[in-house]
Amino acid sequence: MRFFCSMTPVKLRQTTPVIRHIAAFCTVFCMTLSPVLGQKKISYSRQEYMIAMRDGIKLYTLVYAPDSLQDQFPILISRGPYGSAHIGKPTGVLAEDGYIWVYQDIRGKHKSEGQYVMNRPVLDKPGNIDESTDTYDTIEWLIHNIKNNNGKAGILGSSYYGWTTLAGSARPHPALKAANPQAAMGDLFLGDDFHHNGAFRLSYALDYTFGEEGSRTDTSFQYDEYDVYTWFLKLGPLSNVNKRYFHNRIPTWNLFMQHPNYDSFWRVRSPLSYMDYPRVATLHTGGVWDPEDLNGPQLMYTEMEKRDSNNKNFICLGPWIHGAWNWDSIWRLDRYVMGSNTSGYFQRNIQKVFFDYWLKGIGDGKFPEATVFQTGSNVWKTYNTWPPKEAVINKIYPAAGGKMSFEKPSVPGKQAYDEYVSDPKKPVPYRPRPIEQTYGPGSRWYLWMLGDQRFVDGRPDVVSWQTDTLTQDMTVTGEIIAHVFASTTGSDADFVVKLIDVYPGHVKDDIKLGGYQFMIASEIFRGRFRKSFSKPEAFTPGKVEEIKIGLHQVDHVFKKGHRIMVQVQSSWFPLIDMNPQKFVPNIYDAKASDYQKATIRIHRSAEFATYLELPQVTK
């Protein structure tokens, strides 16, 4: 849930943790786009307050208010754990229009009083204190104490600030009219930050929990290896983290170790438990290559849409990594060229229009349900429903000889399969080595989802299939779902599935793109949870079982001359902890002797036909 924005669209600057988060937070609101010609310049004055909450705890709050005494302005709020005191005066599209900007340190962080609790759950209990009540109390104070406000407030922010935006709008103050949660985490066991489908996000979780709970301000864990792939291999079982390094000092890490399954601890902390419907206008914003909170915007939009009776629930998905929609300009990421300034488009044509209507009464209020940047074609698309209801599901199947086919296999029985040996001592890296510390010097963390997948080409523990060269464009719009029929010689296993756009061997306009294996969608599933996330179940060795894996929502054009590839593997290290491949009740208590090799078979027969659902809009 950390969030770093560079002011350059191609190269990510590296900074110390504290400065990095300050820079990131500033760009949550202070988007340095050039002002519109002819717009009135607005100057801002800075004030700092300690605002008392209902239990007497005071929270540090920085306010930038327009100097104009002739107008009234809405209030825009952002609340988070990374420090607000060093944020400069707002600039950019929204700032030029005039808002009262409010930045607040949440409880127990930086200059605010109280105890910090990571992702403090929203509980509807008398006397409960949470991010919802603190947001309510803050707005109540601002409405009555900050001059020249128009009585309306909005809330927005990215990453952790995106989650506090969700939580703050869960039980809103009457003055809160609009929320823009950006990269807001969804369920932390099912699909964001710390777990994906029950698989533990090891390196990220260690870095993040230590960074937030190692001290009151941000800090960094000190590795004695530059390549953390090597460090985590040497670490061995996860119990060694506390034995050797944390010594039970990091509360959230301890809770991870104590709750290996989807129990009440996880349910009560999930926004699914308290974001019942959009009580204020809500614009969910996310990036399709976000390595931290890709799932949250999609999940929360989908769930809240089920109960959106007042048409206040909207989504925007763009070609972005974590937080890149807030950059002043972004035309490309890594090798991918977008063809336009996509962050500028979002800020001016989507975000500004949204807040102008709900907080200032400007515009007609006719918003598309979904605004999505279609990769491959590089055009913005709008949809009346998301994913589009009119999409037709095409199925694509692995076949013999490493081929992919749109025809279901006809081979009978269990004899058609591809197999590999998954070895816990030699796990598949999730990005090319050396793998730098998540937020360390030179880290490529933010861009790894755009990485060329040829770095695992030829590994015996990765299986690949691909279509023949496409003779026409093929557009996939909606949620990709993989149905993997697999068996193992072990009693537990993980499954990673990747959908890849394979470029032609020679690309005239950019020779470096020749043969590029561009990962369009991917996900992992911890096999023990194939029937229930609450009650894990061992595999019977040799028995074929179906594992259903959602690869999230995309809108992508596989261009003529390209090929479609699917890869499957059983480790993604050290992004994900290594599955022992021997079933144990709590993986986090596994011993070194529990980690065993296993032979995995991915079946492709008529009876057990592994396939991917590719939704297509034919209109």
* CA separation, residue 394 to residues 407, 572, 611 (Å): 10, 28, 10
pLDDT of residue 40: 58
Statement: residue 535 has pLDDT above 60: yes
pLDDT of residue 414: 79
Tell me the C-alpha distance between 549 and 47, whole Å: 49
pLDDT of residue 217: 74
pLDDT of residue 35: 34
What's the average model confidence in pLDDT over 410-426? 93
Tell me the C-alpha distance between 500 and 116, whole Å: 41
Would you place residue 435 in the very low, low, confident or very high pLDDT band (cuts 50, 70, 90)? Answer: very high
Statement: residue 1 has pLDDT above 70: no
202-216, 462-476, 526-540, 571-585: segment of lowest average pLDDT: 202-216
Main-chain phi, psi angles of 551, to 5 degrees: -100, 15
Q: CB of 138 within 8 A of CB of 61? A: yes
Statement: residue 371 has pLDDT above 70: yes
Q: What is the pLDDT of residues 388-398, one digit of tens each?
A: 999 999 999 99
What's the average model confidence in pLDDT over 92-105? 93
Residue 541: asked if its preceding bond is cis (omega within 30°), the reply is no
Tell me the C-alpha distance between 601 and 422, whole Å: 10
Q: What are the strands, taking DSSP E only, across 68-168?
A: 73-80, 100-105, 149-158
| SS3 letters across 294-344 | CHHHHHHHHHHHCCCCCCCEEEEEECCCCCHHHCCCCCEECCEECCCCHHH
The whole-angstrom distance between residue 331's C-alpha and the CA centroid of its chain comes to 21
Q: First and final CA of the chain: distance in angstroms?
A: 38
pLDDT of residue 29: 42
Statement: residue 618 has pLDDT above 90: no
Residue in the block written with tokens 């259903």: 548
What's the average model confidence in pLDDT over 331-335? 95
pLDDT of residue 42: 87
pLDDT of residue 70: 82
Say which CATH topology domain 17-186+276-383 has.
Answer: Rossmann fold (3.40.50)
Q: CB of 36 within 8 A of CB of 91? A: no
Statement: residue 9 has pLDDT above 50: no
3-12, 226-235, 395-404: segment of lowest average pLDDT: 3-12
Would you place residue 96 in the very low, low, confident or very high pLDDT band (cuts 50, 70, 90)? Answer: confident
Going from N- to C-terminal start, the domains of the chain cover 17-186+276-383, 392-616
Statement: residue 36 has pLDDT above 50: no
What's the average model confidence in pLDDT over 59-83? 94
Statement: residue 39 has pLDDT above 70: no
Q: What is the pLDDT of residues 168-179, one digit of tens each?
A: 999 999 999 999
Closest CA to 289 of 334, 254, 255, 252: 334
pLDDT of residue 218: 72
Q: Which two tokens stand for residue 425?
A: 């001592």
Amino acid at 345: Y
Q: CB of 45 within 8 A of CB of 68? A: no
Computed over every residue of the chain, the mean pLDDT equals: 92
pLDDT of residue 619: 67
Statement: residue 263 has pLDDT above 70: yes
Tell me the C-alpha distance between 615 and 550, whole Å: 13
Q: Which two tokens stand for residue 417?
A: 């399969």
Q: Which two tokens stand for residue 443?
A: 């880290």
Tell me the C-alpha distance between 68 and 129, whole Å: 36
Closest CA to 316 of 293, 337, 298: 298
pLDDT of residue 37: 31
Say which CATH topology domain 392-616 has.
Answer: Jelly Rolls (2.60.120)
Statement: residue 187 has pLDDT above 60: yes
* CB atoms near residue 421 (< 10 Å): 13
C-alpha torsion angle, residues 178, 183, 185, 191 (rounded to 10): 140
pLDDT of residue 533: 98
What's the average model confidence in pLDDT over 155-172? 97
535: Cβ contacts below 8 Å, ≥ 6 apart: 261
Q: Which two tokens stand for residue 1?
A: 């849930």
CB-side exposure of 204: number of CA atoms within 13 Å? 23
